[in-house]
Amino acid sequence: NDMPLEYPIRPSAKDWSELYPMYFKPEAKSRGVPEQDDLSVSDANKDDQKPGSQPESRKIEFADIGCGYGGLLVALAPLFPDTLMLGMEIRTKLVDYLQQRIEALRSIQHKLHQNDTGDAPDVEKRIKTEDLDSADQLKNSVDSTEQDDAESDPEYAKIQDNGETNFPVPGSYDNIAVIRMNAMKYLPNFFEKGQLTKMFFLFPDPHFKKRKHKARIISSTLLAEYAYIMKVGGILYTVTDVKDLHDWMRSHLDVFPLFERIPDSEFEGDLVVSAVCNSTEEGRKVARNNGDKYLACYRRIEDPYSS
């Protein structure tokens, strides 16, 4: 019953305007269609020479792999109000949910920005409430009528529709989005070489059984892809409550030549690591159950074998 997954032929072929309408203007040409007649797979990364694609300055920098209900993106959005972040999630239901969640947050913030009075702050508080027991409860609290209200608001519509007044409002969640995709495939079709400054792998599926280990999201093959799309100096974050998975991720990352472990002690008081451990729905569940959390963060380093 799931829709087939769609992938751009290369990063510059992706029209991001639907996901980040305040940051990208819609493209006239259809998506996923190459500009030239060459359709070769190796074309996926020919962005260095692309003509007429999105402006250099507007690129996604953070990717949350297997973002689930999106707690990390929602936590980081106001901390990095002008950094574009993308959640990647394979399950349709979660993607739909998170899309609604982001739209509701955007609507409310835009309304607040337009007009400080009204009842919007209550709604905002309700959505941001930290002590909600389950994401379902949270979902129920995102009242879709709030969204409709905002959209029928002429001021809000003006921001949405008019190219000239199309500007992101810092803190308005315009900088976060989610797409449905299989992150184990085609990541380089979405991101150029060296594009990402942060990648997050938060509480990934443990795949306990030995014969399922190949389904784990950290592996030597996939690390090569992650290293490719990450900028030198960028940080890859992992956290899990499963010790065996933690050991597995470390054993692969520790020996991978393009990543270098960053000692946990360097992250004391770090807001990103705090969000990594505590802001996601899974992270909160683990905390409620007094479970352990194992953190391992790595810096993308210069290729030691290239001069």
CB 192 within 8 A of CB 11: yes
Answer yes or no: 15 catalytic. no
- Per rule CB under 6 A, is residue 15 in the interface with ligand SAM? no
DSSP count for the chain of H helices, then E strands: 11, 7
Q: Which is nearer to ligand SAM, 192 or 281 (CB)?
A: 281
Write the interaction track for ligand SAM spanning residues 189-228; mark x where CB under 6 A is met and - where it is not: -------------xxxx-----------------------
Would you count residue 295 as binding ligand SAM (CB under 6 A)?
Answer: no
Report 235-294 residues binding ligand SAM (CB under 6 A). Answer: 280-283
- Contact pick of 92, 137, 182, 274 for ligand SAM (by CB under 6 A): 182
Half-sphere exposure of 144 (CA within 13 A, CB side): 5
CB of 144 to ligand SAM, least distance (A): 22
Residue closer to ligand SAM (CB basis): 112 or 202: 202
Q: How far is the CB of 261 from ligand SAM (least distance, A)?
A: 21
Among residues 27, 43, 83, 90, the one that binds ligand SAM under rule CB under 6 A: 90
Interacting stretch for ligand SAM, rule CB under 6 A, among 144-152, 181-189, 226-234, 255-263?
181-189
- Write down the least CB distance from residue 170 to ligand SAM, Å: 25
Window 38-67: residues binding ligand SAM (CB under 6 A): 66-67
The span from the CA of 171 to the CA of 181, in Å, is 26
Asked whether position 94 contacts ligand SAM by CB under 6 A, the answer is yes
Catalytic entry in 47, 161, 205, 241 = 205
Cα separation, 253 vs 266, whole angstroms: 18
Part in contact with ligand SAM (CB under 6 A); list of ranges 2-10, 82-90, 164-172, 245-253: 82-90
CB 42 within 8 A of CB 48: no
Taking a C-beta distance cutoff of 8 angstroms, is the pair 192, 53 a contact? Answer: no
Per-residue burial over 215-242, b = 16 or more CB atoms within 10 Å of its CB, e = otherwise: ebbbbeebbebbbbbbeeebbbbbbbbb
**Closer residue to ligand SAM (CB): 79 or 232:** 79
Q: What is the largest CA-CA distance in the chain?
A: 60
State how far the Cα of 147 lies from the Cα of 181, in Å rounded to an integer: 26
The pairing of beta strand 176-180 with beta strand 294-300: unpaired
Catalytic center residues: 205
